[in-house]
A = this chain, B = another copy of it.
Amino acid sequence: MIKVGIIGATGYAGAELVRILSRHKEVEIKWYGSRSYVDEKYASVYRNMFEIVEDQCLDDNIEELADQVDVIFTATPQGFLGGILNEELLSKTKFIDLSADYRIKDVDIYEQWYKIKHQSPQLIKEAVYGLCEINRNQVTKATRLIANPGCYTTCSILTAYPLVKEGLIDPATLIVDAKSGTSGAGRGAKVPNLFCEVNENMKAYGVASHRHTPEIEEQLGYAAGSKVTINFTPHLVPMNRGILATEYASLVRKADGSLPTEQEIRAVYEKYYKDEYFVRVLPKGECPETKWVEGSNYVDINFVIDERTGRIIMMGALDNLVKGAAGQAVQNMNLMFGFDEKEGLELVPCFP
């Protein structure tokens, strides 16, 4: 039984951490950090937890918290952890950061896309990018700091990764058109996120400028072995949860000019994901749907080859709050502490 603290426990990702960890057999939550609701009962802020969580919200006293717990999850705005993390804290406890502060290795790119001066760039190198299906070994060995991947990025990367890694698609042609439920926008009170503004509406946003772009590019660049530049367009969908990524790329033709076959592509996906519990490559002909993974840590993936254009259309679906945030953070924790990777995460998707 380890002790856990959550900073940002009353945001949507933080609340999802509470939901998952409250049923995790190896964990006890000791600290529900929330600047906005200090001293209020957690269950009065998230009433789904009524009679499940009895604690009150606490302020973000990171020093005190670090002394008390074995791991701290930070579900906080960009720049928060980067601004306070240091050797002393890291010597006391482990950190799993759900923000972007330690995800991007090139601090210039981070500062350019996030418009934030990084306060602890010296720690970036140590941070392990916690995309378990790709970096499991490093995560398992990580002793102090995990950079938990973004929601769009987890979906976008896992969907294309095997084909990039094996050189089956041309990364320069990659276009990711992603659609997200509204919980991705957080619980801040803003007019564009009001029910009446989102319901019965569909829009793109952050076109050619969304911050998850360089994160996808960096990780796919490692897979490709060279710099990758892509188009990434997020869209807001009138639903609570779920991300669907529709990805387009030109297939690399064989020497004889022919395209890779359905079977060949499928074999590559199998190679990477056959033993991955949380990645489900669907049978031919079935398109991933966000509802089929809702509430779970699964990513559903499939693809269609378009012979006419020589492109492949890859599709991935996940729950942005689970595999795209809190579930993946718990998966990282499980690996770091040597627990069963699935502990607390055998959540069956809820339908309808």
Which A residues are within 8 Å of any B CB, using their own CB?
12, 15, 19, 22-23, 44, 46-52, 175, 177, 179, 181-183, 187, 189-191, 193-205, 207-208, 229-231, 233, 235, 237-242, 244, 246, 248, 280, 282-283, 286-296, 300, 304-306, 308-309, 311, 313, 315, 317, 346, 348-352
Contacts and interface: CB of A to CB of B under 8 A. Distances in A.
Contacts of A47: 282, 286, 289, 292, 300
Contacts of A205: 287
A182 B197 CA distance: 10
Contact of A239 (B204, B238, B291): B238
Given A175-B248, A202-B244, A351-B15, A238 B195 contact: yes
B199 A194 contact: no
Contact of A189 (B52, B190, B202, B351): B190
B23 A348 contact: yes
B346 A23 contact: yes
Contacts of A181: 196, 200, 202
A95 B317 CA distance: 38
B200 A198 contact: no
Contacts of A237: 179, 202, 237-238
13 contacts: A19-B350, A179-B235, A181-B202, A183-B352, A194-B194, A197-B352, A200-B239, A202-B244, A204-B315, A207-B287, A207-B313, A237-B237, A295-B295
Closest 4 CB pairs of A and B: A48-B349, A196-B352, A201-B291, A208-B306
Given A48-B293, A204-B313, A207-B313, 16 more contacts: A46-B351, A48-B296, A50-B282, A175-B311, A179-B179, A182-B195, A189-B190, A189-B191, A195-B198, A199-B238, A199-B240, A199-B352, A201-B239, A201-B291, A208-B305, A295-B295
B190 A289 contact: no
A118 to B, nearest CB: 22
Nearest to A194: B193
> In the assembly, how many copies of this chain are there?
4
Contacts of A288: 203-204
A200 B200 CA distance: 9
Contacts of A349: 48
B350 A48 contact: yes
Contact of A203 (B194, B200, B201, B290): B290
A334 B187 CA distance: 38
Contact of A309 (B187, B231, B292): B231
Given A187-B196, A194-B189, A22 B201 contact: no
B348 A350 contact: no
A247 to B, nearest CB: 10
Contacts of A293: 48
A50 B348 CA distance: 10
Contacts of A197: 195, 291, 352
A292 B48 contact: yes
Nearest to A322: B350
A241 B48 CA distance: 15
A294 to B, nearest CB: 7
B48 A200 contact: no
B191 A350 contact: no
B46 A289 contact: no
A233 B50 contact: no
